Structure 1
Amino acid sequence: MLDITHEEWLRRAKALDLSGLHHIDGADESGGGAVFAAVSPRDGQVLTQVADGGAQEVDAAVAAARRAFDSGPWPRLAPADRGRTLMRIADLLEERRAELALTVSLEMGKPIADAYDIELRAVITTFRWYGQLADKVHDESPHTAPDALALVTREPAGVVGAVVPWNFPLTLAGWKIAPALAAGCTVVLKPSENSPLSALLLGRIATEAGLPPGVLNVVNGDGPVAGRALGLHPGVDVLAFTGSTAVGRRFLHYSADSNLKRVWLELGGKSPNIVLPDAPDLEKAAATAAWGIFFNQGEMCTAPSRLLVHSTVAEQVTEAIVRRAHELRVGDPLDPATEMGAMVGEHHLERVLGHIGTGLAEGARLRAGGDRTAGETGGSFLQPTVFDQVDPGMRLAREEIFGPVLSVLTFDDLDEAVRLANATEYGLAAGLWTSDLSTAHRVSRALKAGTVWVNCYEEGDLTVPFGGMKQSGNGRDKSVHALEKYTELKTTWIQL
C-alpha cells in the first residue's frame, strides 16, 4: 500500500476529475443526452453525472466493434503484437494505480487499501499475464493417414459483449477483456450502473496504450435497458456475464431470442466452509472464515457465507469469529485503516437488512452485528453480522445475501457435512479445513463446486481457472482455459 494518509486521499478525492461519458470507437461520447447520478456509498454524495446508454449507444458500440473485427488490424496482428499492447495497458494501469483505486473506492465503497493492494494488483496482473500468453497458445496438427494433412486452428470468435458487476469492477472486467483481446476479439463492455467510472477510465487507458479504435468500447446504462440491448444484439457473437443467477437466466433467453450467441455465465454462490475438528489450526480457520465473509463487505459471490463446523468445536470457532466481528474497523473507505467499507448503496443495504430480519424471524440466533452503523456519515454501512443456530432449511442458509452476514451450521459426521455443503442450487466455491490428506482428497472430490480451497480460502493465481457448477454458471475465467470462451476451433482437412 502506498504511504498515503487519510487526509491526502480526501484531498485527492476532491481533485479527482471523473468522466461519465461512454467510450466508443476510441473516443468519449455523450450518447443521446440522458444521464444518471453516480452516488458514492461512503457519504451519499453525487460524484458526477454519467451518460445513460440504451439501444442507440449499444448499436454504436457494437458497430464499432464489428468494424474493428471485420476490417481492422487487431484480429490480424501477430499474437505477440497483441500481447505487447496488453502489457502496455498493464503498464499504464500501474502508472495510474492510485487514481484507479480511488475511483473504485469512491464509487462502490471498497476500502482504499483493498482497492489499491488487491483490486488493482489483480487487474494489472491479468492484463500482463494474458499479454505474455498471447503468442504461446498453439494450433494442432493431428496425426492422420499419410495422404492427408489435418489442421485444427483457434480463431477469434468475434465481437464479445461483457457485462460485469460492481463488487470487483476492474478485476472482473479484466478477467473478460484481457483473454478476449489476447484471442483477437473486439469487446463491448457494459459495467454496472453502480460502478461505471473505473470501467470508463480503463477504456480510455486502453486506448492511450495503443488499442485501435473500436477494439474496446464501454457503454454505461442499467441492466434492463443497456444490458438487454447487448444481450439481444445480433452483432454480438459471445456474451460473457458475471452477476446474479436470475439475470444470467435472462441472458440465456436473450441469446435464444436473437442469434444464439454463446453465453458464458459466472453467477451467484452460497459457498460452504467446512471446519473439521482435526483442522491444523482452529484459530487460523476461524480468522480466515471471518476474513472471508467480511472482506469486501461480504459482497463476493465466493464469500464463505455458510460455516459448517463440527459440533465439538463449533462454539470455539464461532466465538473467535464473533470476537473478530466486534474488533473489525468499519468506516470511511478512504481511511487506510478501514477494514470494512460501505455497502454499494442504500438499496443494497436495505436488501441485506431484510435478510437479517428474516433470519431473526426464522429463529436463528444473532451473535454479532445485525444493524446499520456510522449513520452520521450519510453512507451505507453495516455491522459485521454473525448468526448461529441456523437450520439448513432457513433462507439464511439457502439464499445468497451478498453482504457481511455469516450463517453457522453444525454437523456431527463427515457425510452430514458433505450433504449440507451440497444442499444448495449453487456450486461456485467451497472451503475445507482438515489435517488428513485422504479426507482432503475425498471431500474435495465430493463437493460440487468449481473451486475447493483446503486449509485456506480465496487463494490462487492466474494459472488456475475460476467458475461454477450447477446454477453458479458455466465456462471459466482466468488461466489458459478462458481463451476457450473467446475462440472457435476450425478444422482444415487437406487431401494430399
Structure 2
Amino acid sequence: MTAAHYIGGRWVSGDSADCITVYDPSLGEPFAELTAATPSQVDQAIAAARQALPAWRNSSASQRAAYLKGFAEQIELRREALIALQMQNNGKPRHEAVVDIDDAIATFSYYAGLAERLDDLQDREVLLSVPGFTAHTRFEAVGVVGLIVPWNFPLVTSAWKLAPALATGCTVVIKPSEITPLIEQAYGHIADALGLPAGVLNIVGGKAETGAALSNHPGIDKLSFTGSNAVGSQVMSSSAAHCRPVTLELGGKSAILVFDDCDLDQAVEWIVAGICWNAGQMCSATSRLLVQDSIADALILRLKSAFEKLRLGNPLNGEVDMGPLTSQAQWSKVNTYFAIARTEGLQCVTGGDVLQDPGWFVQPTIYADVPPDSRLWTEEIFAPVLCTRRFASEAEALALANDSRFGLVATVVSADLVRAKRVADALDVGHVWINSVQAVFVETSWGGTKGSGIGRELGPWGLSAYQSVKHVTRCLG
C-alpha cells in the first residue's frame, strides 16, 4: 500500500480498514491498491487548509499566478505518464487522453492569466447616487473549499476547480473518485516540486464515507461537486445544513437536433463524437438524436455503418476509437438498460449488448423511434447508447429537446445559420454547439439548467465561484 493522501504538505497512508482496488477496465483486472482516508484524516486535511488560509489568501495575486503557471509546466513535464495512466485506469484511447492533459494545462495557464489581474481589480471605487459617501469593492477568497471530483474526466474536472480556487486565494481539500484515485495524486507531487505552502492543497481519497466526511464538515466554506444527481442532492443537503455555497455539475440527457439541410456525412461525424467520446461516459453526451423526417432513414443508415466501423479495444495495445467503460458497476448498469430496452420492445438498429471478458466493453448502440416515455429516452445511461426520434418542424424539435429534467448542453446541425442560432437561443441548456463537435474552451462557461446543476465553471464565472464580494462604504462628513 502506498502513501496515497496528501495532508498538510505530507504524504500519508490511509488509516481506514477500507481498501480501494484500482482496475484496468480493458482487462477487468486490478493493478494498484490503496487504503482509504478516515473521517479523522479528512478533519486533519481541513485543519491544515484552515491553518494555511490566512497567509495564502493574503499573498499577492501575482505570487499565486506564478504557482499556477508552475502547475501547467509540471503537468507538461509529466505528460506521458499521465496519458498512460488515463489510458490504463479510464480505458481512454490515446487521442482522448492527450486532450485531457492539454485541457488541464490550458486551465492552469488561463487562470494564471486571470490571477495576474486580480490585484488591479481590488478597491475600485463605486459611483454612488448620493453625495457625502464613498465606496469601494473588494473581491476576497471564499475560504477553505472542498472539491469532490468524478471518475470520467479525472485531472480535468479537478483542474477546472483547483485552478480558480487557488487563483482567488482559497485553500482546498480534494476528494478524488475511488474508481480513479491515482491521477489526482500528481497535484500533490507538483505541489512538492513547486514548494507550494503546506496545507494550501490537500488530497484525501476514499469511498462514500470519505466524501460524506468532507461534504458534511463544518470546517469548509464552500463545496464544489461533479457527479451524479443522487449524490449531488446529498451534497446540496449537507451544504444547506451549514448555509454555505455549493457548485453542482450533475447529469444530462442532451439533444442533438439535425435539420434536413445538413451535410449528412458531417452530421454523422458530430453525432458519433457526441455520444461515443469517452465511451459515452460524459454528462454532456448528446444521447438524444432528433432528426428531421425527410432525412431520418438516410442518416440512421449512415450512423449504423459508422457505429459498426468503430474500433473497440484496449488502448494500450494500439490505436482504437473507443475503449471500455471505466468500471464494472457502470458496465452492469448499462447491461440493465439493454434489458429494459428489450422489455420495452425498442427497435435496436445496431448494438444493444455488452461484451464479455476481457474488460468492460459495450457495443455502440442505436435505438430508433424511441417513445418519449421510455426510460432510455429520459434517464442518463452514461454509455455509447443513442436514442433517436423524428420531428417534422422546428417547433416540434424544440419541444422534444426541452422536454427533459436536464439542461446541460445541446447541439444544432443546420446549413441555415439564422435558424441554427434561433434554435440555439431557444434551447433551455447551459451550452449549445452549432455545427461542431463538443469543443470545450476554458474561456467559456460550463454548467447547466434544471437538474443539470447549480453554478458555472470555467471562464471568469469559474473564478467568481470562489470569490466573495465585499463593499466598504465611508461617510465623508
Q: Shorter-chain TM-score: which interval? A: over 0.9
Alpha-carbon distance in 2 for matches of 1:458, 1:411? 23
1:96-135 → structure 2 map (5 Å cutoff) = 96-115=78-97, 117-135=98-116
Q: Is the 8 A contact 1:134 1:183 kept in 2?
A: yes
Q: CA deviation at 1:33?
A: 4.6
Q: CA deviation at 1:203?
A: 2.2
1:366 aligns with 2:334: no
Q: Gapped runs of 5+ residues in structure 1?
A: 1-17
1:412-423 → structure 2 map (5 Å cutoff) = 412-423=392-403
Equivalent residue of 2:191, what SS? helix
Q: Is the 8 A contact 2:178 2:206 kept in 1?
A: yes
1:28 counterpart (11, 14, 17): 11
1:157 aligns with 2:142: yes
1:300 aligns with 2:282: yes
Q: CA deviation at 1:380?
A: 0.8
Tell me what 1:201 maps to. 186
Alpha-carbon distance in 1 for matches of 2:352, 2:423? 33
Tell me what 2:44 maps to. 60
Alpha-carbon distance in 2 for matches of 1:451, 1:28? 39
1:90-489 → structure 2 map (5 Å cutoff) = 90-115=72-97, 117-137=98-118, 138-139=121-122, 140-144=124-128, 145-223=130-208, 225-257=209-241, 259-279=242-262, 281-373=263-355, 375-376=356-357, 378-489=358-469
Alpha-carbon distance in 2 for matches of 1:360, 1:311? 25
Aligned length: 471
Q: CA deviation at 1:435?
A: 2.0
Q: Is the 8 A contact 1:19 1:48 kept in 2?
A: no
Q: CA deviation at 1:360?
A: 2.2
Equivalent residue of 1:488, what SS? strand
1:491 counterpart (464, 471, 475): 471
Q: CA deviation at 1:457?
A: 2.9
* Letter of the 1:327 counterpart: K
Tell me what 1:41 maps to. 25
Equivalent residue of 2:294, what SS? coil
Q: Is the 8 A contact 1:426 1:472 kept in 2?
A: yes
* Letter of the 2:101 counterpart: L
Alpha-carbon distance in 2 for matches of 1:269, 1:395? 14
* Letter of the 2:42 counterpart: V
Divergent runs of 4+, >4 A: none
> Structure 1, residues 339-367: CA drift from partner, whole Å, max 9, x if none?
11111111110101111221222121111
Alpha-carbon distance in 2 for matches of 1:452, 1:48? 39
Q: CA deviation at 1:470?
A: 0.4
Q: Is the 8 A contact 2:14 2:34 kept in 1?
A: no
Q: Gapped runs of 5+ residues in structure 2?
A: none
> Structure 1, residues 367-392: CA drift from partner, whole Å, max 9, x if none?
1112233x44x211111111112111
> Structure 1, residues 308-338: CA drift from partner, whole Å, max 9, x if none?
0011111111111111111111000213411
Alpha-carbon distance in 1 for matches of 2:200, 2:24? 30
Range with greater deviation from structure 2 (189-198 or 330-339): 330-339
Q: CA deviation at 1:20?
A: 5.7
1:69 aligns with 2:53: yes
Q: CA deviation at 1:181?
A: 0.4
Q: Is the 8 A contact 1:287 1:320 kept in 2?
A: no
Q: How does the TM-score come out when normalised to structure 2? A: 0.96
Alpha-carbon distance in 2 for matches of 1:456, 1:112? 22
Q: Is the 8 A contact 1:275 1:308 kept in 2?
A: yes
Q: Is the 8 A contact 1:22 1:51 kept in 2?
A: no
* Letter of the 1:309 counterpart: V
* Letter of the 1:118 counterpart: V
* Letter of the 1:234 counterpart: P
Equivalent residue of 1:320, what SS? helix
Tell me what 1:6 maps to. none
Equivalent residue of 1:141, what SS? strand
Alpha-carbon distance in 1 for matches of 2:391, 2:199? 54
Q: CA deviation at 1:32?
A: 1.0
Range with greater deviation from structure 2 (283-292 or 205-214): 205-214
Q: Is the 8 A contact 1:188 1:217 kept in 2?
A: yes
CA RMSD of aligned residues (A): 1.4
Equivalent residue of 1:132, what SS? helix
Equivalent residue of 1:247, what SS? helix
* Letter of the 1:278 counterpart: D
Q: CA deviation at 1:296?
A: 0.3
Alpha-carbon distance in 1 for matches of 2:85, 2:261? 44
Tell me what 1:3 maps to. none
> Structure 1, residues 140-164: CA drift from partner, whole Å, max 9, x if none?
3211245322111100000010001
Alpha-carbon distance in 2 for matches of 1:449, 1:207? 40
Range with greater deviation from structure 2 (144-153 or 416-425): 144-153
Range with greater deviation from structure 2 (41-50 or 178-187): 41-50
Q: Is the 8 A contact 1:20 1:196 kept in 2?
A: no
Alpha-carbon distance in 2 for matches of 1:186, 1:363? 52
Alpha-carbon distance in 2 for matches of 1:74, 1:208? 18
Q: Is the 8 A contact 2:273 2:437 kept in 1?
A: no
* Letter of the 1:335 counterpart: N
Alpha-carbon distance in 2 for matches of 1:112, 1:403? 19
Alpha-carbon distance in 1 for matches of 2:95, 2:433? 24
> Structure 1, residues 407-457: CA drift from partner, whole Å, max 9, x if none?
011111111100100110000000111122331222112110000111113
